[in-house]
Chains A and B, each alone.
Chain A
Amino acid sequence: MQAAGSPQRLVDMVFRLREYGIIAVLIVFIAVTTAIQPRFIGQQNIKFVLLNATIYALLALGETMVVVSRQMDLSVGSVLGLSAYVSSNLFGQVHGIPIPVVFLVGMGIGLVCGVVNGAITAFARVPGLVVTLATLYIIRGVDISIIGGGEVVASSLPAHFSAIGSDSVVGVPYVTICVAVIIAIGTYSLRSFRAGRELYAIGSNPDAARLVGIPIARRVFSAYVVSGTIAGLAGVIWASFYGTVDSTAGTGYELTVVTAVVVGGVAIFGGSGSAAGAAFGALLLSTIATALYALGVSPFWDPAFDGLLLVLAITLDRGIALRLAEVMRKRTFRHEP
């Protein structure tokens, strides 16, 4: 009885440490940067970093749900681009359209994309990586065909809409607070609700999950739908941040989001990690980008840092996993006879 309990607690502790590790790295990074360049924690800068991280963290929430169930969603960047254009273009098309409607339209677009991804992946049993690689191209192509050479310019957006990205309370933008709440809800649901737990079960052992009667297709489908909807929401927020939306909006975001998720401690083959960790991963990447700039390091160094961080993170995870397996094996042997 005790033997069954204590390794479980050990695993829990290690994974919690993994998340705290990201936060610790983040704090060390901020401290060092601030020591060298005090302006780094100026209000403007914090706001900039947070705004930057907000979109990635939001996308990382949806991506976490998908990755945890041992799939991948590569189409988030394209969905973001499509949603950003179509929703912000509504202001020019329909005079005086209420902002909530615009948000609903953006999320609706994401929902449709997510349904397509999810249906093909879950019900036709095609690997999600391939499906979303295809829809990455297709959705971007649709986006480009709709836009043509045009773009939405900031001046065509109503002031209230642009204010979403700029208004803040004590230096923290409102939208960041909203996204933080969404991520908190998402993390809690993933960890404590039945559907969320089942995603972890699917990711950690699909065969076992099927045998215990988890509706795998339905769960994976829902994960994609949620991820798509979130990407749609992120698109509207993107439009309000940047104002100018053309056909390149969100290009390449998918890999940054996957990087953030993995750096944040979500195993790439599913089964472990949390949305909060992924959000901190996104925050860390965004902080590093800005910190390099603040330190006077050429921005050219940024992708190399991200890549190195990713490789380090997974190497560390691997080391922890091996060590943990060893410890648990020893314990099992000690208690079993």
Chain B
Amino acid sequence: MSPEPVVTASVSTVVPPTSGTEPPVPSPPSGPGEAQPTGTVSARFSRIRGLARWEVALFAAFVIVFIVGRVLSPEFLTNYNFFNMGLSNGELAIMALPMTLIIVTGEIDLSVSSTLGLGSSLLGLLWMHGWPMPAVIVVVLICGAFLGAFNGFLVTRVGLPSIAVTIGTMLLYAGIAEILLGSNIVSNFPATYTNLGVYGVPGIGLSYSTVIFFVLAVIFGVVLHFTPFGRSLFAMGANQEAAIFSGLRVKRTKMILYIVSGVVCSGAGILYTFRLSTAEYDNGTGLVLSVVAIVLLGGVSIFGGKGSMVGVVFAVLIYSGLLDALLLTGFPQQASGIVIGGLLLLSVLVPSVPEFRARFRAGRYRLRRQEPEAITVHSRSVVRPLATSDSSDKAGQGGPAI
């Protein structure tokens, strides 16, 4: 299905080209296994291969999207279009980064878009009351940290399921945003700031949010794949019990991730507000499902323990490229959900095809006997189900109950 998985480049190769005249073509992706000096050679190799296969598929999809986009519209591969593409998806992409880390640990944060909206509302409110802008930004970021800490507290200290908690805080934060700003619309922001949404970064031509995304992507990618902290995220996502017993500070780590998510998302709220030069209470409503869709499309398992930052970055590029190509060809913008949803569905269906076939062939009895073994396989490895022969879901972790 794809060229030989060449494993040379590091995560940092996804930094956009400086000229901007061509699409940001990154080098073929690498697996995080490279960062692991320990472990047997074969184990390392299989891990790289398993990951690389998915990311090569994403890379191929990315190339196809950009070629098709070019064929459909001559305006697709232009500086101006890249600027716009990045501008309209920058905040979404930024929010996908902390979400990746959180989903890798087996949790989820559905309150990201409300955190964005609350950040935006607070920004507008404080500015309306005549605060100086730098102070406002600092307060908004601190507020974001508290919002994240509240999620983290409920998930780690009270021990509640993160999906229920963050559906609750999603409503709660959106509600607080409404209470703060009501029906007011603040839009008299100084041009120094709102220019973020008009001009690109000098010399690069991409929007500020895009550049911030790529810088953050490199930072998050390095943290996830090249630090003990990042490795511990995979460990607790793959098997939380084992992680606790091997002495990882699971609660504290998850707390940190939620706080980071809060700060990053309120920062995205600041960018969002300046881009539209409007602070409204419902800014960013509904973005959360797109963020989750992107992260899953990037090959991160919803049950945690698997995924890579390279995959998520490609997913972001595919998502924004596809939406933009559809927009340029006059496809009704709202209906583009068909394409996004279809991609998401494909991204979970394709990896399960070999497993499904194997199951079909093996028959029911053999499968039942193998099941317990498969669980241990799953908890050790960080590869997608594609690579594990008969991967199964962790018991008691909210897996599909099949």
User: Which positions in A face B, CB cutoff 8 Å?
Assistant: 69-72, 74, 120-131, 133-138, 140-142, 144-145, 148, 202-203, 205-207, 209-210, 216-217, 220, 247, 252, 255, 258-259, 262, 268-270, 298, 300-311, 314-315, 318
- Complex contact B163–A268 (CB within 8 A): yes
CB proximity of A127 to chain B, nearest CB, Å = 5
Contact status of A304 and B179, CB under 8 A, knowing A144-B334, A311-B168 = yes
Interface of chain B residues 327 through 381 with chain A (CB within 8 A): 332, 334-342, 344-345, 348-349, 352, 355-356, 368, 371
Interface string of B79-101 (1 = CB under 8 A from A): 00000000000000000000000
A-B contact pairs, 8 of them (CB 8 A): A69-B401, A141-B335, A203-B401, A255-B170, A304-B174, A307-B171, A310-B164, A314-B161
- Rounded to whole Å, the gap between the CB of A150 and the closest CB of chain B is 12
* B159 surroundings in chain A (CB, below 8 A): 318
- Flag whether B224 is at the interface (Cβ < 8 A): no
Per DSSP, chain A at the interface is helix
Contact of B168 among A138, A148, A207, A310 (CB under 8 A): A310
CB neighbours of A202 from chain B (8 A): 401
* B302-A129 in contact (CB<8A): yes
Chain B residues with Cβ under 8 A from A205's Cβ?
395-396
Beyond A126-B352, A302-B175, whether A136 also contacts B402 by CB under 8 A is: no
Q: For residue A316, give the distance in angstroms from its CB to the closest CB of chain B.
A: 10
Question: Which residues on the A side are within 8 Å of B256 (C-beta)?
Answer: none
Q: Does B112 contact A (CB under 8 A)?
A: no
What are the 6 tightest A-B residue pairs by CB atom distance, in nearest-first order?
A304-B175, A307-B172, A307-B171, A137-B341, A141-B338, A310-B168
Interface residue from B173, B340, B349, B368 paired with A126 (Cβ < 8 Å): B349
Pick the most buried of A138, A142, A216, A259: most chain B CB atoms within 10 A of its CB: A138
**Of the candidates A69, A138, A304, A315, which one forms a contact with B172 in the assembled complex, judged by CB atoms under 8 Å apart?**
A304
- Please name all residues of chain A whose beta carbon is closer than 8 Å to the beta carbon of B355 when the two chains form the complex: 125
Residues of the B chain whose Cβ atoms lie less than 8 Å from the Cβ of A270: 401
Closest B-chain residue to A219, C-beta based? B401
- Decide yes or no whether B1 CB sits under 8 A from chain A: no
**Alpha-carbon distance A210/B336, docked complex (angstroms):** 39
Q: Does B341 contact A138, Cβ atoms closer than 8 Å?
A: yes
Contact A137 B400 (CB under 8 A): no
* A202: nearest chain-B partner, CB-CB: B401
Size of interface on B: residues with Cβ below 8 Å to A: 57
Interfacial chain A residues near B352, Cβ < 8 Å: 124-126
How close is B258's CB to chain A, nearest CB, in angstroms? 14
B289 within 8 A of A: yes
Q: How far is the CA of A106 from the CA of B393 in the complex (A)?
A: 35
Residues on A with beta carbons closer than 8 Å to the beta carbon of B322: none
Partner of B337, one of A137, A210, A305: A137
In the complex, how many angstroms separate the beta carbon of B392 from the nearest chain A beta carbon? 9
B335 to chain A: which residues have CB within 8 Å? 141-142, 144-145
Are B399 and A127 in contact (CB-based, < 8 A)?
yes
C-alpha spacing A130/B349, complex, angstroms: 10
* Complex CA–CA separation, A315 to B157 (angstroms): 11
Tell me the bound Cα distance from A206 to B182 in angstroms: 46
Q: A5 to B69, alpha carbons, bound, how many Å?
A: 67
B270: interface (CB < 8 Å): no
Instruction: For A314, list chain B residues within 8 Å (CB).
Output: 160-161, 164-165, 168
Partner among A207, A252, A268 whose Cβ is within 8 Å of the Cβ of B395? A207
Q: Does B11 contact A (CB under 8 A)?
A: no
